[in-house]
Amino acid sequence: MCGITGKLYFDCAHPVDAKLIRQMNSILRHRGPDDEGIWTNGPIGLGHCRLAIIDLSPTGHQPMCNEDGSIWITFNGEIYNHLDLRADLERRGHHYRGTSDTETIIHLYEEYGRDCVKRLRGMFAFALWDSQQWCLLLARDRFGQKPLLYAETAEGLTFASEFKALLQDPAVSREINEIALHHYLTYGYVPAPLTAFRQIRKLPPASILFWKDGHISIERYWTLRYTPKLELGEEELAERLLTLLREATRMRLMSEVPLGAFLSGGIDSSAIVALMAEVMDEPVKTFSIGFDNQSFNELHYARQVAERYATDHHEFIVTPDALAVLPELVWAYGEPYADSSALPAYYVAKMTRPYVTVALNGDGGDEAFAGYDRYLAVKLAAYYERLPLWLRQKLVAPLARRLPEATSRKAILRRFKHFVLATNASPVRRYARWLTLMSNEDKCNLYTPEWRARMAELDSLELLEQAFSLADSTDFLSRILSADVHTYLPDDLLVKMDIATMIHSLETRSPFLDHRLAEFAARLPSHYKLRGRTGKYILRHALRSHLPDSILHRDKQGFAVPIGHWFRYDLRQVVYDVLLDPKTLARGILDGEKMRTLLDEHVSGRVNHRHRIWELLMLELWFRTYIDRPRAALAGPAKGIL
């Protein structure tokens, strides 16, 4: 894992200042503390901060060039099939100087041009300069595990792994993107390709940006296909699934430094630990996070797996005091980000790093095999709609509206209320009810009249509807899974894991995001993913000899945080002080009286606004970190913002 930076001037007579690349690099040293490199040549400059995983020798230094120095690359990621690719390239006459997978990308580009990305099996973001063709290629992996941001300015193109590095370039504006912030309040993250900054864009997953002759083009090189469905028996499908997952896990054990695994106690991470234990010569090092609030604590499940496979197990308890790290988290993410599980992710990474440099995880399993409760909710909605219309409208729905927002995370009443109130919408918008933190109506109720008028014509749910339209299947579950792969997975989950781990110089790898495994899973008939009330049916079946029943048949819990409780007690004064601060209200977005009502309702227990309070808090702390401070101060977290 690494941090990459670079700048290209459109005017070939304008040289890149190496000091700028060096400054951009310096902000990313947490991503690569082991080595640093800078290369400039006239209007192009590339930078690299290295976390050494493979080829620890000097031959792995980046930016890296080919034999004649005509091609240069700065690369972040791991290519798991690089040895197979290398063998083929050597047969074709290519000569290597080291053992790095970075060198393989260079030779692959020499052989296949920009189609080289189609042959890569792994996670990556890279920038490649071809001086003979006088062109620049930016590329990102299929699922978006590795970030790549860019800004097109009047003078050129600037790119980097993180916002804070990109903003070291004075040519890149910090003007906010109001539309992006409006969408953020719906989803809790800014949907790609937008960012919170008007001039900065995210390169979408499975995409390349190509610059040549003054023109920029962006093209997608891969799409996950859900058809045609596989027509095989259950046992054969389970066997093939286990073979692919075992191969994906084995490939991700490639490392010259210590590695381990995150273990939540859920099916996905437990499966990875089980398969690691099959092939490793020493006990797997496992790392788990928990809370003193037992309704959010999964440590006892993680211990069952750790004991079964005799792992070298480590645990950490997060308390409300952990929120002292909020300024660092806000600085790390670079734009408003409201997934509260970033907090335990941060701490499990911090706990893990002293022991290992690489950790495997279970990311992607829910999106591949229908593991979230919301998938079942959509299925049940179809049965609910078979009830007589008068019964739903006159009795059930009015009753649901009067129910309080229960404070327990697993509360049946809360789940029933959300289920009923979502069933009258279109299928897509019904699903959105389970994905969004605020509806358009919710946001407008909190906005000032001026801001409400500016956002009146924007419907954030249209973004989700567009994602649904990308699916190549008419099967509704497949369309839901496809939409999550295009939105929630890359824009929320993978952002969380990359930033929370790389701030501690820790690399994470996700076997479930192996694209060959994902392609197999996508083509499974839906009844092998969601059968009755059981999600991940075929995955549970495939793992029946590897995991205890208590793990295989437990309900989905997730990486949740008891923020609702914290906001009522330990952090009550903090949220009042920040969200009702005159500085906050002077931004012209939130109405002070409505904000106070929201906070009062939560503290009294009448309504559980925990997610809304969290995302509003993250928004204001982002303003104080990235907008209010001088550009030079972005090199570190903001002090005194809480």
CA torsion, ordered 344, 348, 351, 355, to nearest 10 deg: -170
Residues labelled catalytic: 2
What is the 3-state composition of the chain as percent helix, strand, coil, each rounded to the nearest 5?
45, 15, 35
8 A C-beta contact, residue 251 and residue 80: yes
In the DSSP assignment, the letter for residue 556 is P
Distance CA 116, CA 88 (A): 13
- Helix, coil or strand: residue 459: coil
8 A C-beta contact, residue 336 and residue 615: yes
Please give the structure tokens belonging to residue 270. 């437990």
For 219, 400, 424, the CA distances from 598, given in Å and listed in that order, are 43, 20, 26
Distance CA 525, CA 521 (A): 9
121: β partners? none
At 157, phi and psi to the nearest 5?
-125, 125
Please give the structure tokens belonging to residue 497. 């894991």
Distance CA 285, CA 277 (A): 10
At 196, phi and psi to the nearest 5?
-70, -10
Distance CA 589, CA 501 (A): 32
User: If you compute the radius of gyration of the chain from its CA atoms, what whole number of angstroms results?
Assistant: 24
Residue type, 119: R
Distance of alpha carbon 352 from the chain centroid: 19
For 20, 158, 188, 498, 499, the CA distances from 495, given in Å and listed in that order, are 26, 20, 12, 5, 6
List alpha helices for 403-448, DSSP H.
412-422, 427-435, 440-446
Nearest to 496 by CA among 326, 342, 637: 342
Parallel, antiparallel or unpaired: strands 507-509 and 44-50: unpaired
At 547, phi and psi to the nearest 5?
-130, 150
Please give the structure tokens belonging to residue 267. 């099916």
Which residues have CB under 8 Å from 393's CB, separation 6+?
A: none
Cβ burial, residue 635 (10 Å; 0-12/13-18/19+): middle
Distance CA 254, CA 57 (A): 16
- Helix, coil or strand: residue 53: coil
